[in-house]
Homo-oligomer: A and B are copies of this chain.
Amino acid sequence: MAKEKDVTIYDLANELNISVATVSRALKDDPVVSKKTKKKIFDLAEKMGYRTNLFARNLRTGATRTIGFLVHELNSNFINSVLSGVEKITTEAGYDLIIAHSSESYTKEAANARNLFDKRVDGLIASLSFDTRSTDHFRPFIDKGVPVIFFDRVEKVKDTTVVVIDNYKCGYEATSHLIEQGCKKILHVTSSLSRNVYAERYRGYRDALFDNGISLDEKLVVVNDLSERAGIESAKKMMAIDPLPDGAFITNDFVAAAFIKALKEHGISVPGDVAVVGFNNDAIGHLIEPTLTTINYPGIEMGEVAATALINHLKGVSNISRINTVIINSDLIVRESSLKKGK
């Protein structure tokens, strides 16, 4: 198949004996061009299979109408709901999305950021990876005036906006709920405490214990990744503790599911012996047995809020740099896995 030469506005202009300027204007539906000429041009463009050369346009205008979406992983329900929220808004506004994920690696995240910068995105929506130690890779965007919005896993960087839930409150509520159910010794399975989300939930856990007169035992805090293996390992770790904890607050539903499964295989009953609360409200939570008590984390809404703020800023409707932090509602969903007392 021979590569056909692309049709350009010059071809259209030649064919119709008009200038490229008119063609260019017609193509962007400039009201200054007469209906007749427009029609002629559109028809011919269609007929000749004309496609805008975006590189030429971008080169010329310096704007790409493209938003970067930079996240740690794509295979998480939460990130996917955020993505669909973002996509809804950006699509409506006529922006394209370039998605990059870092597989939880700082190096890859930095490389992706660099890449998105080179691709000249008009704005960036990002959630940090596990081991991101610095936010220097976002500097170029900020210096150049490209708006950056962080969500979920965030870091306060000057001139950026963050969209989050109140992780502290959620951690506090989850833990309080377990205490209300009679738990006295509560395991906390979480991830890198240098990430805000986990650090905040941990603070909530700690304060809830404190406020209820339970002393914090560092041995009950298990830091791991968000894999199935992490759930199984945490379960093993817990079973080695004597006496056995009677509750567990796990910052991820998938990990919680694996955790519960492992416990049950060793004859430990949930919630009878150990009450469990997860986090995120993934679909898996009501497919397992017992169904999982969890924190509802509204991803779609978060994505919509983040994208709307960004788009409004780009349109000049509002100025993002005034907004420091947006907090989205979230709440505890009580199901079977935590109910020691019956309903």
**Bound-complex Cα distance A258 to B288 (A):** 9
For residues 104 through 147 of chain A, which have their beta carbon under 8 Å from a beta carbon of chain B?
A: 115, 117-120, 140, 142-145
For residues 73 through 104 of chain A, which have their beta carbon under 8 Å from a beta carbon of chain B?
A: 74-75, 77, 80, 83-84, 96, 98-99, 103
- A11-19, A54-62, A244-252, A272-280 - the one binding chain B: A54-62
How many copies make up the complex?
2
Asked if B99 and A99 make an inter-chain contact with CB atoms under 8 angstroms apart, the answer reads yes
Asked if B59 and A56 make an inter-chain contact with CB atoms under 8 angstroms apart, the answer reads yes
Q: Does A37 contact B (CB under 8 A)?
A: no
Count, chain A residues at interface, CB 8 A = 46
Question: Which residues from B are CB-within-8-Å of A145?
Answer: 1-4
8 A-B pairs besides A51-B117, A59-B59, A254-B283 with CB distance below 8 A are A1-B142, A1-B144, A3-B144, A51-B140, A55-B56, A257-B287, A288-B288, A289-B289
20 contacts between A and B (CB under 8 A): A1-B142, A1-B159, A3-B145, A4-B144, A51-B118, A52-B118, A53-B120, A54-B118, A54-B120, A55-B58, A55-B59, A74-B80, A74-B83, A84-B103, A254-B283, A258-B287, A261-B286, A261-B287, A284-B284, A288-B289
